[in-house]
Structure 1
Amino acid sequence: MELKSQLQATKDELLALTERLPEQKIFSPQDCQEVLRRGHKASGMYKIKPKYSPEEFWAWCDLTTSGGGWTHVLNRFDGSVDFLRNWTDYKMGFGDLSGEFWLGLEYLYHLTGSKQNELLFELVDWDMTKINAGYNKFIIGNEGEGYELKSVGKFPYGTDDSMSQHVNMKFSTPDKDQSPGKCALAFKASWWHKNCFDSQLTGVYADRGLGKNNQNIYWNSFHAPPYSLKQIRMMIRPVD
Structure 2
Amino acid sequence: MLEKHGVDCEPLKVTGGNTAGVQWTPVSQELESADEKPEQGTVVTSDDGVDDKTNSGEVSNKHRFSVNLRSPPKTKVLRQTHVLKDCAEIFVSHSIFGHTHSGLYSIEPDHFRGPVSAYCDQTTDGGGWTVIQRRFDGSLEFFRGMQPYETGFGDASGEYWLGLGYISSITTQNPQELYIELETWDGNVTYARYSTFVGGNTLSIGGYSGTAGDAFLTAHHDQTVEPFVFRARHIAPPSPSGADGPPNAMVETYGSGWWYVPFGSLCNLNGPYFRDPADFTRENGHGVYWIRPSDGPSSAYENPFYSLKKTKMMIRPTNFGSRVLNLH
TM more than 0.5: yes
The counterpart of 1:156, out of the listed 184, 196, 209, is 209
Could you say which structure has the higher helix fraction?
1
> Which residue in the other structure is 1:167 paired with?
224
Give the SS at the match of 1:155.
strand
The residue identity in structure 1 corresponding to 2:308 is: L
Q: Is the 8 A contact 1:200 1:219 kept in 2?
A: yes
2:93 pairs, out of 23, 27, 38, with 38
| Contact 1:187 1:213 (8 Å CA) reproduced | no
Residues 50-129 of structure 1: matches in 2 within 5 Å?
50-129=109-188
Partner of 2:292: 221
Read off the aligned partner of 1:169 and give its amino acid letter. E
- The structural deviation recorded for 1:159 is 4.3
Residue of structure 2 equivalent to 1:13:
none
Percent of residue pairs identical: 35
User: What whole-Å deviation, never above 9, does each CA across 1:195-230 have from its counterpart, x for those lacking one?
Assistant: 313101111110133235324110011754321111
Q: Distance in 1 between matches of 2:264 and 2:236?
A: 12
Corresponding residue number in structure 2 for 1:231: 310
Give the structure 1 partner of residue 273 of structure 2: 205
- How far is the alpha carbon of 1:25 from its aligned partner? 7.3
The Cα RMSD (Å) is: 2.0
How far apart are the structure 1 equivalents of 2:195 and 2:292?
19
Structure 1: give runs of 5+ residues left out of the alignment.
Answer: 1-23, 142-146
Q: Distance in 2 between matches of 1:99 and 1:203?
A: 17
**What is the Cα deviation at residue 127 of structure 1?**
1.5
Corresponding letter in the other structure for 1:193: Y
State how far apart, in whole Å, the 1-side matches of 2:307 and 2:209 are.
Answer: 25
Uncovered stretches (5+) of structure 2, i.e. residues with no partner: 1-78, 294-301, 320-328
CA contact (8 A) 1:131 1:158 kept: yes
CA separation in 1, counterparts of 2:149 and 2:303? 24
CA deviation digits over 1:18-64, x for unaligned, max 9? xxxxxx97022111011011114121111112233343222111111
SS at match of 2:207: coil
In the other structure, the counterpart of 2:296 is: none
Runs of 4+ in 1 over 4 A off after TM superposition: none
Contact 1:208 1:230 (C-alpha < 8 Å) held by counterparts: no
What amino acid sits opposite 2:251 in the alignment? A
Residues 189, 224 of structure 1: alpha-carbon distance in 2 compared, 3 angstrom cutoff: farther
Quickly say closer, same or farther: Cα 1:129–1:25, change in 2 above 3 A: closer
User: Between Structure 1 and Structure 2, whose CA radius of gyration is higher?
Assistant: 1
Give SS of 2:228's match. coil
Give the superposition deviation at 1:173: 1.4
SS in 2 for 1:71: strand
> 1:96 Cα shift?
1.4
Give the secondary-structure state (helix, strand or coil) at the position aligned to 1:162: coil
1:93–1:101 contact (8 Å) kept in structure 2:
yes
The match for 2:259 is: 192
**TM-score normalised to structure 1 length:** 0.81
The number of residue pairs the alignment matches comes to: 211
The aligned amino acid for 1:115 is N
Instruction: Name 2:195's counterpart in structure 1.
Output: 136
Compared CA separation, residues 154 and 204, structure 1 to 2 (3 A)? same
